[in-house]
Structure 1
Amino acid sequence: MKNLSLRLAFFLSLMPFLAWSQSEEPQKWTLQQLIDYALEENIQVKLAELDVQTSEVARSQAFWNRVPNLNANANQNYAFGRSIDPFTNQFTNDPVRSNNFSLSSNMTLFAGFQLHNAHMQSMADLEAARYGLQNTRNTVSLNIASFYLTILFNQELLNAAQLRLASTRIQHEQVSKQVRLGALPQANLLQLNQQLATDELEVTRAENTLALSQLNLLQALQMPADTELVLDIPAINEPTINFTLPTVEQVFEVAETTQPQILQAEKNVKGRKLGVSIARGAYFPTLSVSGNMFTQYSSIGTTRTFTPYDTPLLLDQGLPLGASSPSQTGTAIPVFPFEYGQTQVSSISFADQIDLNRRENLSFTLSIPIFTRFQSRNNVSNAKINLERAELNQKNVKNQLRQTVEQAYYDVVAAAKTFDAVQKQVIALEESNRNIEQRFQLGAANVVEYNQTRNDFNRAQSDLIRAKYDYIFKLKILDFYQGKPLEL
Structure 2
Amino acid sequence: MRTFTIIAIFCCLSTMAQAQQYTLEECINIALQNNRNIKQQELSKAQRQIAYSQARNDLLPSVNASAGQNFVFGRSIGLDNTYQNTNSSQSSFGVGADITLFDGLRMKHNIDAKRADLSAAEADLEKFKDEIEMSVATAFLQVLLQKELLQIASEQIQLTDSNMNRRKELIKSGKMAHGEIYELEAQRAREEQNRVQAESNLKLALLDLAQIMELEDFSDFNVSAPSVESILSEGVLLSTSDIFQTALLTRPEIKAAEYRLQSSEKEVLMAKSQLYPSLSFGANFGTGYYNMSGRSNDPFHTQIRNNMSNSLGFSLRIPIFNKFQTKNSIRTAELAAENNRLEIDKVKIDLRKRIEQAYHNALGAQSKWKATQKSEISGQEAFRFAQEKFDNGRANSYELFQAKSNLTQTLSDQAQAKYEYAFRLKILELLKK
- The 10-residue stretch of structure 1 (361-370 or 258-267) with the greater mean CA deviation from structure 2: 361-370
Does the 8 Å contact 1:219/1:225 carry over to 2?
no
CA distance in 2, matches of 1:127, 1:96: 59
1:172 shift after superposition:
3.2
Q: Which has the larger radius of gyration?
A: 1
Q: 2:135 aligns with which of 118, 125, 143?
A: 143
Does the 8 Å contact 2:91/2:290 carry over to 1?
yes
* 2:75 is the counterpart of 1:125: no
Q: Closer, same or farther in 2 for the Cα pair 1:298/1:372, shift >3 Å?
A: closer
1:23 shift after superposition:
4.3
1:290 shift after superposition:
2.5
Q: Give, as a single letter, the amino acid of the residue that structure 2 aligns with 1:401.
A: L
CA distance in 2, matches of 1:161, 1:88: 112
- Give 1:72-471 correspondences, 5 Å limit: 72-76=65-69, 98-176=90-168, 178-179=170-171, 183-185=175-177, 188-224=180-216, 227-237=219-229, 245-298=237-290, 347-348=298-299, 350=301, 352-471=302-421
1:268 shift after superposition:
0.7
1:149 shift after superposition:
1.1
CA distance in 2, matches of 1:432, 1:228: 41
CA distance in 2, matches of 1:428, 1:400: 42
- The 10-residue stretch of structure 1 (209-218 or 132-141) with the greater mean CA deviation from structure 2: 209-218
Does the 8 Å contact 1:215/1:225 carry over to 2?
no
Q: Closer, same or farther in 2 for the Cα pair 1:459/1:197, shift >3 Å?
A: same
CA distance in 2, matches of 1:84, 1:203: 104
Query: Gaps (5+ residues) in structure 2?
Result: 1-13
Comparing both chains, which one has the higher relative contact order based on Cα–Cα distances under 8 Å and sequence gaps of 6 or more? 2
Q: TM-score, normalised by structure 1?
A: 0.78
Partner of 2:9: none
Q: Give, as a single letter, the amino acid of the residue that structure 2 aligns with 1:474.
A: R
CA distance in 1, matches of 2:80, 2:145: 94
- Deviation string 1:109-143 (CA, Å, 9 cap, x unpaired) is 22222211111101111111111111111111111
Partner of 1:30: 23
CA distance in 1, matches of 2:77, 2:180: 122
SS class of match (2:151):
helix
Q: TM-score, normalised by structure 2?
A: 0.87
Partner of 1:314: none
Q: Give, as a single letter, the amino acid of the residue that structure 2 aligns with 1:28.
A: Q
Does the 8 Å contact 2:235/2:425 carry over to 1?
no
SS class of match (2:287):
strand
SS class of match (1:282):
helix
Q: Closer, same or farther in 2 for the Cα pair 1:45/1:238, shift >3 Å?
A: closer
1:465 shift after superposition:
1.2
Q: Give, as a single letter, the amino acid of the residue that structure 2 aligns with 1:125.
A: D
Q: What is the Cα-based RMSD across aligned positions, in Å?
A: 3.0
1:25 shift after superposition:
5.2
1:161 shift after superposition:
0.8
Q: 1:60 aligns with which of 53, 58, 83?
A: 53
1:455 shift after superposition:
0.8
Does the 8 Å contact 1:289/1:365 carry over to 2?
yes
- The 10-residue stretch of structure 1 (420-429 or 105-114) with the greater mean CA deviation from structure 2: 105-114
Query: Gaps (5+ residues) in structure 1?
Result: 1-20, 304-344, 484-488
- The 10-residue stretch of structure 1 (25-34 or 49-58) with the greater mean CA deviation from structure 2: 25-34
1:471 shift after superposition:
1.6
CA distance in 1, matches of 2:33, 2:276: 48
Q: Closer, same or farther in 2 for the Cα pair 1:89/1:65, shift >3 Å?
A: farther
Q: Percent identity?
A: 30
1:242 shift after superposition:
9.1
